Every structure is written in structure tokens, then in C-alpha cells.
Structure 1
Amino acid sequence: MSDQLSADFVVIGSGIIGSLTALKLLKQGASVVILEAGPRVNRGQIVARFRNSPRKGDWMSPYPSVPSAPHPIYQPKDSGYLVQAGPYPYPAEYIRQVGGTTWHWAAQAWRVVPNDMRIKSLYGVGVDWPLTYEELDPFYQEAEEIMGVSGAANTGSPRSKPFPMEPVEETWAMRRFRERLAPGGYEVVANTTARNSRSYDGRPACCGNNSCQPICPIDAQYHGGLAAEAAEAAGAKLIPNANVYKLEHDAQGRIVAALYYDPDKNSHRVTAKTFILAANGIESPKLLLLSSSDKYPNGLANSSDMVGRNLMDHPSTSLTFYAEDELWLGRGPQSPSSINTLRDGAFRSEHAAYRLDFTNISQVLSSTQALIAEGVYGAEFEKQLRYRAAHQVNVKNVLEVLPHPENRISLSTQKDSMGIPKPQASYSIDEYTRRGADVSKADFTRIAELMGGTDLRYSPEGNYANNQHITGTMSMGNDPKTSVVDGFGRTHDHENLFIVSTGVMPTAATCNSTQTGVALALRTTQHILEQFNVRTPGPATSTS
């Protein structure tokens, strides 16, 4: 084992949450080492991979898995990294590299609605959070000002301050959705996104390129690569290709070291006063379970047996149809608008809440593939392609799921290329979520009617797409018997181990989880700094 490094804080994971946590610590004078399992990349490399990829519809193609830090890959075939235990498949996609998975996100930066945090008290389902929306509001704002977030005022999430900027210009297609659906009582609004509508923090405004996923070619949308760059500029020592496989503890249960493998499987040891686990809701519980010992035979932070449990995401069903108008999806952001009026209500005692989200992804590729599969060629091919590319649209739901302990991440008996046990997913979709999908089908049908829709194609019954919003698995709560961390992200079992991750969210609500994960992390970091008696000037407003 090589000579060890040491710092005030070790942050494990260089994604958007880990890097912004490190940045806030660094600005108060702390020393920070960031350990990242994957390699260092840059935007130019990713853009080149995307342009050269033969699989343009595969958003993971610019992000290959590396042997020293594998991640799930499903095309052209399943890499088998995330082992499926069923009964329903959970094909999570995420990236292990400097900056993490938000390199290829849709930049949706929603807040939860206040009632999401007390659904047990209000509706008798799920669990309540150990903090209130009002307590999280200033940290949501801090996150939005760092990333540069815009959105509509009427999303159901109250604000004490305005968005940092106005939304990106509305596309023609979304304007027609808004105009034609309004008489039917559907309010279409701009999505809340971390995407510039004007120059912000040294980055340009959105240029309308329709490749937000897998990569914004000009960094108009914020991502973890920018956060990692800012943390390094502030003084972080970021070590790529550092695959952490174990956390060590002392006799009192305090964490004393992180052990990692480099690509040659040489082991290294890093010590610190405080450890912050910032990987996602799959890799973080995997590490805690891997770090078992005589004192903690079930893994670290796991006296409750809740590590890895309550895995949540956002399943979706959808409707594809031909609108009456020529809409020509494909100019501007891929996911620009949605309907948010179904995110909350008394119905949540009976079935899942949901958002309705409209795609703006170009229909040329999917229409071409469909026509070739149908055996259409020549002049008829050209005629059909023009029609389909102009008129084909899609609406999907983003369904709430409830926490269930049997939905979980555990350690597989299989090992990866580094000899580390692979994570295993046990997953199912309950009747509460299925009932929400059934109810939303009526909304799909009415939307198609209002758009003059024809050839309505609903997703197959019982078939749910996955949105890659990995939530739960290390839930926060006041009771150490039913949760992994407290309301500030400190593990109940280890006083100097904190977790910042979407995995600490007790419920999934109906919105993409990244923004809430960042806000919770900033709140945790503020708490850590106050515990160390560091005077803080207040929320950051820029990464520069």
C-alpha cells in the first residue's frame, strides 16, 4: 500500500453533488481530497465521441465504461454490471468519471412541492421528511444561483426569491401545445432547468442544439464537470481513477480512512477528520456494504438494516401520436415544457402523483428507423418521413413511487473486473404507482384530442420506462431504527461520516432528483461548517 494522503475532508465522488459540497468547504478554508472512481474527461472528448458514434440514439455511447471503474452499459448489449434480481428490471444508467452523470442529463432542476415532504401525515402513504420545505428553500436558491436555473413561477414550488434568469425561449412546438391544451384546462409551462437563457457565470446562452442528452456542446447547461473544475480551482486535490473499495473505522466507530484501487489495482489509503460519501444511490450503499467488519458485520451505517433499501426512481408510460399541426420537434432543448398541476392533491392517498412531460427530441431518426423496419422505400419513404418528422409527438408521465424496503441495492455474488462485488438491484412497481399510470392514460387521450391527434400509440400495458432518477437507499430520518442518516446527512452510526446524495431522499416525489440532492448537500455542508465553528458568509452565488 502506497504512502497515504490526508485532509480535513475526503469526499468520495466527484459528481455535481460531491464537487459542489467540496467547493463550499474549500471556500471556508478547509482542505479537501476528492476521490473519483472513473477517469478524467473533457467536453471536447465527449462531443467527438457523440459525433463519431454509430448509435446516435444511445445517450451512453459517448461514456464508455472502463475496466477499473465499470458502470452499467446496455447497448449494444448489457454489460451485466448491475445485476438484476427482479421481479421487475431496473436498468439504471449512470456514469463513473470526473463530473459524474450530469454530463448527459436533461438539466431539469425541479424543486419538490411542500406536501411531498409530508405525504405520510397528509395522505397516509410513504414517510415524512425530517425537515420542512421552508428549511430547504434557501439551499434550493443557493443551488440555483450556482448552476444558473430558470423556470416558470407556477410549478407548485413556492420561492422566497426569483429564479436567477428567465427561461430559454419557447419553441414553436411547445407554444402550440400550450395554446391548444389551455382550453382543455391543461397549463403547459417551461421546465425548470439549469440551462442558460443568457450569458451566465462565464458560460454562453443555449444555442438550440438538440443534444442536451448526451452532451451540451457549448456548456450552456450546467453539469458536474463544471462543478469539479470549480472545486479544483478552489484548491481541491481531485484524484481520478481512484475506485474506493472500503472505509476503515476505529474502535469507537469513527471513520479513519478510505482505501482505493488505482487502475493497476494498487491499493492506496487516504485519511481525514471527516468523510463525505457523495456517490449515487447505487454506488454509495455498495461501498457501505463492502466496508463490513467484525464490529459492523452488515456494513457501515447499517444498524437499521436500511442501507440499500427503499430504492426509488420515476417510472414512465407514454403516448406517441401525430399532431394536426406541423410541429417539427428538434429545435432547442430536448425536454422544454410540462404540465405540473397533477403533482399534488388528495388523490395521493389512492394513487401516485405525476408530471406530464413533452419531448422536443427530433423525430427524424426514430421515423427513419420505423419506416425501414416497415419496408418503406423510394418516393413513399420521403413522403412518409417528412410527414412523421413534422407531426410525430410524445407525452409521458413522471410517476411518483413510494419507499418499500424490499426494493433495494445489495451486493451480488458476481465480481467486476477489479474483483469487487457488483451491485444487485431488487425492484418492483407497486399498485399505487400502477394506478397513477392508469389514471394518467385519460390525460394522454385528452391531450391527443386537443392536438387533433391521430394514430395514437400508447406504451405497452405494464411496460415502464426508467428515468434514471436514483433515489432512496440511504434515507434520512429522525429514527435510527428506520433510517440511515439524520436530517443533516450525518450517519446515525458514525459521527464523522456524512452522506450527500439523492440516495438520502426519503421519498421520490414527481421531479428529477438532482436539484434536491444538491440543495440537501449544501445544507449538510453548512451544518458541517457550523459544527466546526467556521464562520460562513452565506450561500454562494457563483462557481467562479
Structure 2
Amino acid sequence: MADKLSADVVVIGSGICGSLVAHRLAKQGVSVIILESGPRVDRGTITANFRNSPRKKDFMSPYPFSAWSPHPIYKPEDNGYLVQAGPHPYPAEYIRMVGGTSWHWAAQAWRLLPNDFDIKTRYGVGRDWPIAYEDLEPFYYEAEVKMGVSGAPNNGSPRSKPFPMPPVAESYLQQRFRERLAPEGYEVIVNTTARNSRNYDGRPACCGNNNCMPICPIDAQYHGGIAANAAEEAGATLIANAVVYRLEHDDKGRIVAAHYYDPDKRSTRVTAKNFVLAANGIESPKLLLLSASDKYPNGLANSSGTVGRHLMDHPSNSLTFYTDEPLWPGRGPMSPASINSLRDGDFRRDHAPFRIDISNASAVQSVTESLISEGVYGIDLDRQINYRAAHQVSLKNVMEQLPNYDNRIILSDRKDALGIPTPAAVYQLDDYIERGMQRSLEEYTRIAKIMGGTGLRFSKPGVYSNNQHITGTLSMGHDPRDSVVDSFGRSHDHENLFIASTGVMPTSATVNSTLTAVALALRTADHLARTAL
């Protein structure tokens, strides 16, 4: 195995970003080793796990938990891996296995809006990016081609080329929301997704399974496991169950090796010319902080003191209600359509922008559980399940959270089975978000009225869910004093260390972060290949 322990590039993390970086480099003849902390599991096993799981609403239950590569688990109880340091909880969910967390995503693959890149200059809030939309546009398209993305051409993000394929067929629920809301000024558009509407890249078209989260059973939906397989087919070497616990540097600050434990805590040293840290926005800063040395006592890449800081997500509130006509959610993708009119505008000076997502997830389980808890049984139970499952719908927002220096990932005092400190989240929400949440409630109420809504149930005031879109902890910027990496993802402190992760995003905007992170990762790979190899 000695000949496999050195390469031109070592990629740490086999999620969608790391695997697509490895794939791009390997296709150019670069020798690449991918180190993945978790195990390799196939789609068939995950699908069987989901079908056999008694906790269908727990999207983590089908995925393996490895003592040597733990991740947060909250059901049936919190395993304490991600320590909550307050003042608000941040129950992030992610998967540590080959392919990463996009195994159980909703496949929403939105581009940011051009104005999202300079909100400080334009609206006086947040931070400006060190790049513009135009710098990322060709890499957005490259990512869309690799992942198989479709969407509405009028979604606010300019395009130089059309989507690789047309959208998946419209669900009945989506159609009726669109038809009924349009006369009242709401434009309902198809969500931008990495989901096949036709056979594409050797994978079948979506056939309407309504369990996109936690697993597409036929791989019509793109995920990091597909990307990892492609990287290996292109020539990259992937080592699973390789828990990187330290990056080693030389006297000049160049990274010279990654050290990893196997499940039995045997340590291996892997050398390379360049290193790409491609774990998520929690595990990546954790590794940099773990790698502190005499030369870098505050951790690697941390001369600015911002490694782990500016933690962001997309906090959400919601409304559930009954429509005045049967829509039968549950036929087709779970999250097919949204309202995008409040993603941008001068109001961003005052309150957070947001996108309104219309759920198409089946309501059968939730209404059945609710009715049983209410003591309904017999013929009435059957009748009410039928009515509620056909009429119950829900809306939620995807809201921008501004970077806050005090929101951060740190090392906790707890240790995992290998003796590695676990991460802790320091997290809070501000009035900018609260004002956006209140505006959301106004929009929900109006939409429900148009749909003949009854039985309106708003989420608990002041208690907001996150969307597992971990951003900001490794922010890019021009100034080494307040950012971790430059505009190409290269560490300001270590010339051969690159970071490809949602964590490098300086702001979160109003859409799922995966496509932007992949586009940034491909731009990083392009720059690395041209300048560092």
C-alpha cells in the first residue's frame, strides 16, 4: 500500500464537493487520494434500511452510525456528538460516509442571485463576496451538467446556456397552487433540482417516489455517492474509514501530510503536493482547530481568528393548513415548487429575505399519528385520515441568516471513541431574522386564504428549525485579516491548502447551498490544476 500513500493531491472528505474536485483533477491525469472518515454503503442497503425503519420521518435512521466516525443523532434521543453551547440550539444533521450528506438531500440545486454577492455594498448588511456572479457562472453550468439539473429559466439567476434537461413533470398539488395563486400576484415556479426528468448520465428518470429525503431508491436524484464512484472511475483512490485527525506542516507553513486513524486507531501518514479540505462546515473547521501546533497555536489557516466563525444556516418557520379542495400531496417529488418574489429587494436593509417552499410530502403518516393521539378510532378514523391526507399542506421559508462573528464552531471537552474532541456550536438568531419571520407569517396567511385554508397551524413562535445548510465557518475574502481562504479557496496561511466546502461561502442567501458549493469547488479545482500542479 506504500505506493498509495502519496499523491499529487489529497482530498479530505468524499462528499459531493470533495468527490467532484477529485473527479475533475483525476480526469486531467492528476494522482488523487480521497480520505473518507466513514464507511462505504450502497444505495440498495440504504433503501432497505429506510423501508424497514420504524422512524420514517427521521431522515438519519437509514444511514450507518460508525463509532470511529460519529455524526449527530437526535432521535430517539440526542447522542451529544455536536455539543450545544447556546444560546440557541443548532441541531445540525449530516452523514459521515462515502458520498456525504447529499445522500439524503432534497436535490434542490439553486444558483444564487447576482445581488447576493454584494449585499454589504448594495444593502448595508452582511458581507460582500470576493467574486461576482459572473465569475461563478461557468462553474455553475459545469456543476449542473455533472449533476443533471433542471429548473425554471425565470428564477432570477441569469444563464449563458439552458438547463441540461427539462423539469420533472408537475405534480397536481404544484399545478393547483400555481393556478390559484397566479391571479393574486404570486408566481409559483418549479424548484431547481438535480433530479432526472429523463434518462441522463446512465441513471433513470424520476418515477414519482415520494421519499426523495432520505433516499431516492432508483438514483434518479444525484448525490455524493454517484460523485465518489465517478472519481474512482476517473482514477482517484478512495480510502474509506480513514479518520483524518491532524494536518502536518513544515517550517514554511506548507502542509506536508494528513494523518488518519483507521477504526482500530492505527495511524497512517499520507503525503501530497497539495491538500483539499472538503469536509462540511463543521468537520472542516474542527480538523483545522485540531491541527494546532507551536507555530499555529490557534489552529491551521486561522491567522484571522475566523476559522469556525460566522456560522450560518437557513432558519425556518412554517404553516400547516387544510385546503378547500383535495390536492393529495405525496405524488411526485417532496419539494417541487416555491415562491421566489421575496428573495431580493431593498427590504433586505430591514429584514431577512426568503423563499417560500411548498411541500408535496405525503401527509398520511403525520395525520394518522395526530388522529390517534386525539383518540379518533374506527370508521371515523378512516374517514378523517382520508380527508386530512388529501387536504393537508404546508409552507415553510428558506431565510437568509447574516454572518455573525459570535456564531461559531469550536472544540468541545467531549471526545469520541478514537479520543478526538467533538465539535460544539455557539449559535444565536437576531432581530433581522425575526423581522423576516414575521413577514413570512403575513405571506403564509394570505396564501392560505387564497387556497381556502382552514385549521391554520403556525410553527411555535420564536422557535425556528434549521435546514442543514451549514455555511460561513471558513469564509472566503480578499483580506487575510477577516477571512480564511482567498477567492479561489486557497488558505491565506498555507499556499498548498485549499478548502472546498459550503463553509467558504461568506453569506448564505436564500437557497440551498449545495450547487454554489460545488461550483466553488470546481473553480478551486480549476485554479489548483492551473497554478499549483
TM-score, normalised with respect to structure 1: 0.97
| Alpha-carbon distance in 2 for matches of 1:235, 1:480 | 35
| Alpha-carbon distance in 2 for matches of 1:313, 1:204 | 32
Equivalent position of 2:472 in the other structure: 472
| Alpha-carbon distance in 2 for matches of 1:414, 1:532 | 38
1:519 partner amino acid: A
Equivalent position of 1:167 in the other structure: 167
What are the ranges of 5 or more consecutive residues in structure 1 without an aligned counterpart?
Answer: 534-544
Q: Counterpart of 1:276 in 2: which secondary structure?
A: strand
| Alpha-carbon distance in 1 for matches of 2:2, 2:202 | 40
2:400 partner amino acid: E
Equivalent position of 1:100 in the other structure: 100
Q: Runs ≥4 in structure 1, deviation > 3 angstroms? A: 1-4
| Alpha-carbon distance in 2 for matches of 1:40, 1:13 | 12
Q: Where do 1:454-473 residues align within 5 Å? A: 454-473=454-473
Q: 1:532: how far off? A: 3.9
Q: 1:153: how far off? A: 1.0
In the alignment of these two chains, the number of paired residues is: 533
Is the aligned partner of 1:390 residue 2:394?
A: no
Q: Counterpart of 2:516 in 1: which secondary structure?
A: helix
2:77 partner amino acid: K
Residues 30-52 of structure 1: per-residue CA shift (max 9 Å, x gap): 00000000000100010010011
Q: 1:232: how far off? A: 0.5
Q: Counterpart of 1:475 in 2: which secondary structure?
A: coil
Q: 1:397: how far off? A: 0.8
Equivalent position of 1:275 in the other structure: 275
Equivalent position of 1:38 in the other structure: 38
Alignment check: 8 A CA contact 1:416 1:422 kept: yes
Equivalent position of 2:322 in the other structure: 322
| Alpha-carbon distance in 1 for matches of 2:238, 2:133 | 33
Is the aligned partner of 1:135 residue 2:135?
A: yes
1:342 partner amino acid: L
Alignment check: 8 A CA contact 2:49 2:62 kept: yes
Residues 194-229 of structure 1: per-residue CA shift (max 9 Å, x gap): 000000011100000001001000000100000000
2:467 partner amino acid: N
| Alpha-carbon distance in 2 for matches of 1:251, 1:57 | 50
Q: 1:341: how far off? A: 1.1
Equivalent position of 2:341 in the other structure: 341
Q: Counterpart of 2:319 in 1: which secondary structure?
A: strand
Equivalent position of 1:488 in the other structure: 488
Q: 1:154: how far off? A: 1.3
The alignment yields a C-alpha RMSD, in angstroms, of: 1.0
Is the aligned partner of 1:430 residue 2:430?
A: yes
Residues 7-35 of structure 1: per-residue CA shift (max 9 Å, x gap): 00000000000000000001111000000
Equivalent position of 2:234 in the other structure: 234
| Alpha-carbon distance in 2 for matches of 1:300, 1:281 | 15
Equivalent position of 2:183 in the other structure: 183
Q: Counterpart of 1:37 in 2: which secondary structure?
A: coil
| Alpha-carbon distance in 2 for matches of 1:45, 1:316 | 32
Alignment check: 8 A CA contact 2:496 2:532 kept: no
2:371 partner amino acid: L
Q: 1:57: how far off? A: 1.1
Q: Counterpart of 2:142 in 1: which secondary structure?
A: helix
| Alpha-carbon distance in 2 for matches of 1:492, 1:522 | 19
Equivalent position of 1:221 in the other structure: 221
Alignment check: 8 A CA contact 1:206 1:221 kept: yes
Equivalent position of 1:59 in the other structure: 59
Q: 1:440: how far off? A: 1.1
1:91 partner amino acid: P
Q: 1:4: how far off? A: 7.7
Is the aligned partner of 1:212 residue 2:212?
A: yes
Alignment check: 8 A CA contact 1:82 1:423 kept: yes
Alignment check: 8 A CA contact 1:4 1:269 kept: no
Equivalent position of 2:257 in the other structure: 257
| Alpha-carbon distance in 2 for matches of 1:59, 1:414 | 25
Q: 1:466: how far off? A: 1.2
Q: 1:65: how far off? A: 1.5
Q: 1:374: how far off? A: 0.7
Residues 81-109 of structure 1: per-residue CA shift (max 9 Å, x gap): 00000000000000000000001100000
Q: Counterpart of 1:238 in 2: which secondary structure?
A: strand
Q: 1:64: how far off? A: 2.9
Q: 1:3: how far off? A: 9.2
Alignment check: 8 A CA contact 1:8 1:272 kept: yes
Q: Counterpart of 2:395 in 1: which secondary structure?
A: strand
Residues 149-207 of structure 1: per-residue CA shift (max 9 Å, x gap): 00001111111110001000000011000011111111000000000000001110000
Alignment check: 8 A CA contact 1:4 1:268 kept: no
| Alpha-carbon distance in 2 for matches of 1:383, 1:44 | 36
| Alpha-carbon distance in 2 for matches of 1:463, 1:185 | 29
Residues 73-131 of structure 1: per-residue CA shift (max 9 Å, x gap): 11111111000000000000000000000011000000000000000000000000000
Equivalent position of 1:119 in the other structure: 119
| Alpha-carbon distance in 1 for matches of 2:321, 2:344 | 27
Q: 1:391: how far off? A: 0.2
| Alpha-carbon distance in 2 for matches of 1:76, 1:442 | 34
Is the aligned partner of 1:527 residue 2:532?
A: no
Equivalent position of 1:539 in the other structure: none
1:41 partner amino acid: V
Q: Counterpart of 1:357 in 2: which secondary structure?
A: strand
Q: Counterpart of 1:86 in 2: which secondary structure?
A: strand
Equivalent position of 1:406 in the other structure: 406
Equivalent position of 1:542 in the other structure: none
| Alpha-carbon distance in 1 for matches of 2:89, 2:402 | 17
2:95 partner amino acid: I
Alignment check: 8 A CA contact 1:4 1:271 kept: no
Q: Counterpart of 1:150 in 2: which secondary structure?
A: coil
Q: 1:2: how far off? A: 8.8
Q: Aligned residues: percent identity?
A: 70
1:411 partner amino acid: L
1:282 partner amino acid: I
Residues 249-307 of structure 1: per-residue CA shift (max 9 Å, x gap): 00000000000000000001000000000000000000000000000000000000000
Is the aligned partner of 1:500 residue 2:500?
A: yes
What are the ranges of 5 or more consecutive residues in structure 2 without an aligned counterpart?
Answer: none
| Alpha-carbon distance in 2 for matches of 1:308, 1:291 | 14
Q: Counterpart of 1:412 in 2: which secondary structure?
A: strand
Q: Counterpart of 2:86 in 1: which secondary structure?
A: strand
| Alpha-carbon distance in 2 for matches of 1:462, 1:433 | 10
1:502 partner amino acid: T
Alignment check: 8 A CA contact 1:2 1:269 kept: no
2:531 partner amino acid: Q
Residues 476-510 of structure 1: per-residue CA shift (max 9 Å, x gap): 00000000000000000000000000000000000
Q: 1:530: how far off? A: 1.1
